[in-house]
Structure 1
């Protein structure tokens, strides 16, 4: 492992004012590009993987070992499992061949919506990819010792060294002194393909900053990336595997884009992307597998203050080994109430959700507490596979004494369009207002489809049945103007 402080002079490390100018490669190969894993990191041999452009020689793809956890519901401790991560870059048709180290009875390639067709011959699996995809290959129903096969396009604007505005982390293993690095205004930390960094990345009161590249941030000690009181942020292309802490935290931050991120966490409270008191946030084309909420959108907590608004989450795949794929509203400021509003969540595949606790279920949960008001939410094209345990939808104006000092103010104006669930593990879905002052109002489901049946208010049913009975869903007396529409 390279300790970057021993390579660069101290003034360079913390001010990044090198005389050398970073160069752009400006050339990319559309053939598969594989990247070696440094020897000090664990690999896994449940699968062997090769990739190639059709007619070209095969290239071996090394596979990372990634820790995954489930909760022991008797003790609360973590039960550790291990899976694999394979990563490569390409931009034309690619053939993939996987060799499994045991016999194969069944193969599932998620997300199911991609409809990727595979051929099985003995213990070999082959399939084609026409563009980069983030996949989970599951054999014989084993959800733990899976292959997370991740890919991206090569970066046409990759720098090749440091400059006054670029902190370049090249191929190989690296760390910064103290286990973290602060990126200041105007700077980019670039993780090159094949680079592995074991330090946390921080933005404090920084503007026009970025972390991008095709490398790995692997088991940083204090979570992956922390952005506080910052603006104009880009996080693009990297893979983050963190044992504790969140993968990415945005606190009181404006104008942030998180794109093409792959994020894994494996300890309690190991959220994926958490957004606090932030505005104008775009999260797109991410793959998240986490030991707590994959994406959480809140108002006040800790030292973050203010409303959260204009957040978009789109074109992504989410797998929650505990808690919610998407959670909205829990934390806020009772004494000076805040608003979480103007949220768009669209084109999402939920691969799994497992939560034994009734208070924390829902592949999507709107649960305002602490006098938060959640309003103006659009969920569009939300596909949910057969998760292990939980609820499809949970909306509660809640007062959770563990986290809240008051109930939320309400949930208003929510549209959920083209939500599709195929499975048999959803518990009773819940929409619960708190009282006549803290209600849920104007929630509309459009084309809600459960196991192939579209549920809408004018569907054939006994006149004494509620439409929500066919989800099934419980809505209490503090839910107003709940409708189910067929378009």
Structure 2
């Protein structure tokens, strides 16, 4: 790593003309002193270039992972068009193997001593594991150049370097109508509080670094989060990437996030409508995406004081697409759990599509599941779909968990059941030590109805029955089916 000054002049841009295309590379400045030393991980050295161009060193950020026993992994980021060549050197120890997650059959790795090299022809976010060491791996965020900085009186720009809130505190408070642009190399030492605002956009390739809850969206409308990176270590409980509560029309596109603290979910969505998550890359120490029907998580440290949105107390029209989740703790996709017995609510019309789950480690037996639904606290959950889901490894936990019940630990009453769930085109490698999946109800009024599994494979083998898929069917389950095309 060479220490690049955190100035606009420190931005490295390479352009190589080709026949009908251009290879461009954006390698962003390192943090300023003293953060440049404190935030660095020297486990790897990474450099990039356009084909035939000059090598550019990248800054290797330290990221903490896995709340069970926090470890130091690494992350680099850059943007490009056309082609880019990448070299990664493992600086300490020897290695026999290196692999890529998510799997990329078209990515050819070449090794020379301790250096692994490859060429990228399209953007992607992935990690390299040396000798299958998943706790000290390196995450490579190779993006397409983000949208240019907008212009206008309501645009607030943060360029390369370290930025604190204007009042000297820890919270940035955009106003309705604001656009916040975080340029590559920008590092924000504070989180965003979007309470009771409308038409706010936060965008760009900058970082929100180790600030606890990164973006709080509460009682707001028409909010867009785009392209930035969140790094949160284990210093603060409930250090989530974004809480979305009582809000309408929220879009999260291209967000990357890493967490390692207690209850440090990725995106927590509750009592909100029309929330769309696309192209997320999340490595978290709690649920990657969780959809609630409650004012806030009752056992978590953060509470809300904002009135609900005008549309509904229910949670619906939630879409999560084209994303990658790595769960060091808890679930990848979770619907339900908490509710509101005083005002019974419904979660409906929730879609997960085209998702890679790279790892799952959930050892809290009643709540295990890469794809999980739990109806408690008078909540009705219906019209939920999981499609085109690829699960790489389950250290501990279940592939599928669909339960209507009443948890003495978390609930005050039984749920109103689960209805109309479809799981389509689900592929699990079979790697790890998963426990049996479960689909079960509690009573006739707390039942599971109409669950369809279409084209489920485990280890490349088609699952034709509950027994062949290691799926336990409990009581009060009706209209269950497994089919293949």
The answer, yes or no, to whether TM exceeds 0.5 is yes
> C-alpha separation between the residues in 1 aligned to 2:70 and 2:421?
38
Mark the runs of 5 or more structure 2 residues left unpaired by the alignment. Answer: 1-12, 16-22, 297-303
In the TM superposition, residue 40 of structure 1 has moved relative to its aligned partner by 2.7
Asked if 1:444 corresponds to 2:441, the answer is no
Alpha-carbon shift at residue 403 of structure 1 (Å):
2.2
Residues 152-172 of structure 1 deviation map (CA, whole Å, 9 limit, x = unaligned):
211342248xx5211111110
SS in 1 for 2:395: coil
8 Å Cα contact 2:270-2:291 kept in structure 1: yes
Alpha-carbon distance between aligned partners in 2 of 1:191 and 1:183, rounded to the nearest angstrom:
13
2:196 alignment counterpart? 205
Q: Which residue is 1:24 aligned to?
A: none
CA distance in 2, matches of 1:407, 1:121: 59
What number of residue pairs does the alignment pair up?
A: 441
For 1:36, the equivalent position in structure 2 comes to 29
Q: Deviations over 1:254-313 (max 9, x none)?
A: 101001100111111111110011100110101001111111111113347511100110
| Corresponding residue of 1:324 | 331
Question: 2:170 pairs with 164, 168, 179, which one?
Answer: 179
Residue number in structure 2 paired with 1:59: 56
Distance 1:342 1:190 in 2: 32
SS in 1 for 2:466: helix
Partner of 1:468: helix, strand, or coil?
coil
C-alpha displacement at 1:344, in angstroms? Answer: 1.1
Instruction: State which of 304, 314, 325 in structure 2 corresponds to 1:307.
Output: 314
In structure 2, what is the equivalent of residue 472 of structure 1?
A: 470
> Do the aligned residues in 2 keep the contact of 1:184 with 1:204 (CA within 8 Å)?
no
**CA distance, structure 1, for counterparts of residue 344 and residue 392 of structure 2:** 36
CA contact (8 A) 2:396 2:432 kept: no
Tell me how far apart the structure 2 counterparts of residues 352 and 235 of structure 1 sit (CA, whole Å): 25
Matched residues in 1 for 2:316 and 2:232: separation? Answer: 27
Q: What is the deviation of 1:52?
A: 1.4
Q: Tell me if the contact between 1:159 and 1:168 (Cα under 8 Å) persists in the aligned partners.
A: no
Report how far residue 387 of structure 1 moved: 2.5
Provide the rounded CA distance (Å) in 2 between the counterparts of 1:117 and 1:35: 25
Task: Tell me how far 1:69 sits from its aligned partner.
Answer: 2.6
Mark the CA change 1:43 to 1:451 in structure 2 (over 3 Å): closer, same or farther: same
Q: What does 1:150-189 correspond to in 2, within 5 Å? A: 150-159=141-150, 163-176=152-165, 177-189=168-180
Give the CA RMSD over aligned residues: 1.6
Q: 2:43 aligns with which of 46, 53, 65?
A: 46
- After TM superposition, the structure 1 stretch with the greater mean CA deviation from structure 2, 104-113 or 200-209, is 104-113
2:100 corresponds to 1:106: no
Contact 2:418 2:449 in 1 (8 A): yes
Distance change in 2, residues 1:105/1:28 (3 Å): closer
User: Contact 1:139/1:146 (CA < 8 Å) preserved in 2?
Assistant: yes
> Hey, what does 2:209 align to over in structure 1?
218
Contact 1:447–1:454, Cα closer than 8 Å, also in 2 = yes
Q: Matches of 2:335 and 2:444 in 1, distance apart?
A: 22
Structure 1 stretches of 5 or more lacking a match?
Answer: 1-26, 72-78, 457-466
CA distance in 1, matches of 2:406, 2:351: 25
* Shift of residue 28, structure 1, vs aligned partner: 10
Q: Give the distance between the partners of 1:359 and 1:268, measured in 2 at CA.
A: 18
**Contact conserved, 1:28 with 1:155, CA < 8 A, in 2?**
no
Distance in 1 (CA, whole Å) between partners of 2:261 and 2:124 is 26
**Distance in 2 separating the partners of 1:369 and 1:54:** 56
After superposition, the C-alpha distances for 1:312-342 in whole angstroms (9 at most, x for unaligned) are 1011100111110111101211122111111
Shift of 1:432: 1.1
For the 8 Å contact 1:215–1:238, the answer to whether it is kept is yes
Q: Give 2:417's aligned residue.
A: 410
2:221, 2:67 → 1: CA distance? 35
Q: For 1:384 and 1:239, locate their aligned partners in 2 and report how far apart those are by CA, in whole Å.
A: 24
C-alpha distance in 1, partners of 2:331/2:185? Answer: 32
What's 1:17 paired with? none
Tell me the equivalent position of 1:360: 367
**Equivalent in the alignment of 2:77:** 87
- Of 33-42 and 407-416, the range deviating more from structure 2: 33-42
Separation in 1 of the partners of 2:437 and 2:330? 15
Deviations 1:223-258 (A, max 9, x none): 100010001110000001123321101011110100
CA distance in 1, matches of 2:473, 2:86: 47
SS in 1 for 2:339: coil
Decide whether the 8 Å contact of 2:147 with 2:204 is kept in 1.
no
**CA separation of 1:275/1:114 partners in 2, compared to 1, >3 Å: closer, same or farther?**
farther
- After superposition, the Cα gap between the structure-2 partners of 1:404 and 1:205, relative to the gap in structure 1 and judged at 3 Å, is same
Alignment deviations for residues 130-161 of structure 1 (CA, whole Å, 9 cap, x no partner): 1111101111111111101112211342248x
1:402 Cα deviation from its structure 2 partner: 2.7
Are the counterparts in 1 of residues 405 and 446 from structure 2 also a CA contact under 8 Å? no
Alpha-carbon distance in structure 2 between the residues aligned to 1:117 and 1:396: 43
> Map of 1:4-403 to 2, 5 A cutoff?
30-38=23-31, 39-41=33-35, 42-71=39-68, 79-101=69-91, 102-112=93-103, 115-159=106-150, 163-176=152-165, 177-220=168-211, 222-243=212-233, 244=236, 245-302=239-296, 303=304, 306-403=313-410
Q: Which consecutive aligned stretches of 4+ in structure 1 deviate over 6 angstroms post-superposition?
A: none
In structure 2, C-alpha distance between the alignment counterparts of 1:48 and 1:278, rounded to whole Å = 43
